[in-house]
Amino acid sequence: MTSTSPKTRRRDQELESAIIAAAWKELQRKGYAALTMESVATQAATSRSVLARRWGSKAALVVATVRDQLEQHPYTLPSHGSLRPELIDYLAHVSSLAPLISIIFSLLSNSKFREIYPSPALLRNALVSDQNDNLKLILQHAVAREEIHATKLTPPIQSLLSDLIGHYILIHNEAPSAALCHAWVDDIFLPLVLKAPSPSLQPA
């Protein structure tokens, strides 16, 4: 028994990985509404009953699939010692996730999916084990360095960059250009919060 347990575990893990990979392909190709447990089972060369034993619903399978994708793209909080490059780093990471973010938006627009996850907050809790707000942490570090005014970080300002990039991906279904991200940081956000003009904003 002891010698066969690791093999059984590996087989189970490999099968689950194959199912998740198949679900991701189906989700990208068909979208949530057209995806079925049967189509995923076919793609993974297994049976629907195998899927049902692991995930009780299509929504549960899709959430597990999206979570797996997020876990493949972890974010390490930058430590450049200056706010501007840290914001650029943050927006570049979010931009790299644009296809995944578009799928998450599409899930929230599906009435059947919303019966199980009726709010973005509930879906976020299901998807992300680390509930830290990375942008908020970046801004807190800048306050600690005395780069920006803490009193100016009202909730709308604090979430401004996340809102801008989120709305762009929602409307355009693609990532914003690096030039646009830089403009958001330099022309909109930093002038609102900096204690002193950034060198990048001063005339050459």
Report pLDDT for 128.
Answer: 83
- The boundaries of every CATH 1.10.357 domain in the chain are 73-197
Q: At what angle do helices 58-71 and 5-30 cross, to 10 degrees?
A: 100
Q: Which CATH topology does 5-58 take?
A: Arc Repressor Mutant, subunit A (1.10.10)
Distance from C-alpha of 48 to C-alpha of 110, rounded to nearest angstrom: 23
Report pLDDT for 79.
Answer: 87
Q: List the one residue out of 117, 97, 99 whose CA is nearest residue 107.
A: 117
Q: Which residues pair with 194 in a beta bridge?
A: 148
State how far Cα 93 lies from the chain centre: 9
State how far Cα 159 lies from the chain centre: 15
Report pLDDT for 199.
Answer: 53
Report pLDDT for 48.
Answer: 93
Q: What is the largest CA-CA distance in the chain?
A: 73
Provide the 8-state DSSP code for 136. H
Distance from C-alpha of 79 to C-alpha of 174, rounded to nearest angstrom: 27
Domain boundaries 73-197, corresponding CATH code: 1.10.357
Q: List the one residue out of 197, 195, 187, 85 whose CA is nearest residue 149.
A: 195
b/e 83-108 (16+ beta carbons within 10 angstroms → b) = bbebbbbbbeebbebbebbbbbebbe
Tens digits of pLDDT across the chain (204 residues)? 444 444 444 478 899 999 999 999 999 999 999 999 999 999 999 999 999 999 999 999 999 999 999 999 988 888 899 999 999 999 999 999 999 999 999 999 999 999 999 998 899 889 987 667 899 999 999 999 999 999 999 999 999 999 999 999 999 999 999 999 999 999 999 999 998 654 555 544
- The boundaries of every CATH 1.10.10.60 domain in the chain are 5-58
Residue 6's identity, in one-letter code, is P
Helix (H) or strand (E) holding 182: helix 178-183
